[in-house]
Structure 1
Amino acid sequence: MGTLSATPAQAAAPRCDIRAIKPWVYPASGVVVATNSTSCYGPVRNVRISTRLYKFHAGWVVFVFKRQVWGAVKSNRNGSLNAWGASSPAGACTRYMTQATVKWTTASGTPKSKVRYSGAVKLRASGPC
């Protein structure tokens, strides 16, 4: 998993970017993990990031949600946020998807946001189906 990168000209423009990473199974526990990769180039303020793990069960439903507040970013900040959820029974294959969101306010007070989705992937406690 890598972080987002930008050219010097892009980095000079205050903003936040986010990437939704396909869910994966943590081998030691069989737990399904949804991850985002976030980068903010300041000055921006009131930065909030979230990750949702969606599970397909007669339609897409939010299975796990995690949120983090970064607050003000004066220069640059990179990071990620994981949402962990118990996997389906070992033999069952279930579809999962990640939603990643970043919200921030520009120096002039304009609220901004970006939402990204990963592709869907079929997983079980032991890994891919």
Structure 2
Amino acid sequence: MDLVTNKPILLYDDTCSSCTIFAKYALKFSKGQIHCIGHFSQEGEKLRKRIFPSNYDATEMFWLIKENRAFGGRSGLFQLLVLILRAMPKRKNYAEDNLPKYCANSEDCKNKMHNFKRLYNLLRNGKKLDVNFINSVNN
């Protein structure tokens, strides 16, 4: 699948239910101003290979990829908030999401301690990377 978009991309953990819910609300409140891609989807795996070093685990947090920069975790929250605030005056409804209803690993999905650890790591960690992002993920 070829991804050509000029929207910011939210790269999230699609095997985690709280992460998937986070991505759905981000899409909803940004009124479709972002493109959500799961870390473990085909698009997500291609995107991670293009952007991140091979020895780096990008799945430890969500990433907002925008204008040749990748903002991870806490750094991405601020960027996402800016996108949501800019979308507030728009009356347009958000696009229907194509995100999975349930995560792939049901044991982690229902484990409250796992969800708490994900939230703690999100607030504790933040990273910014310069990326050479070309609009096509398939190349």
**TM-score, L = length of structure 2:** 0.24
Bigger relative CO (Cα 8 Å, ≥ 6 apart): 2
- Richer in helix (by share): 2
Between Structure 1 and Structure 2, whose CA radius of gyration is higher? 1
- Richer in strand (by share): 1
**TM-score, L = length of structure 1:** 0.25
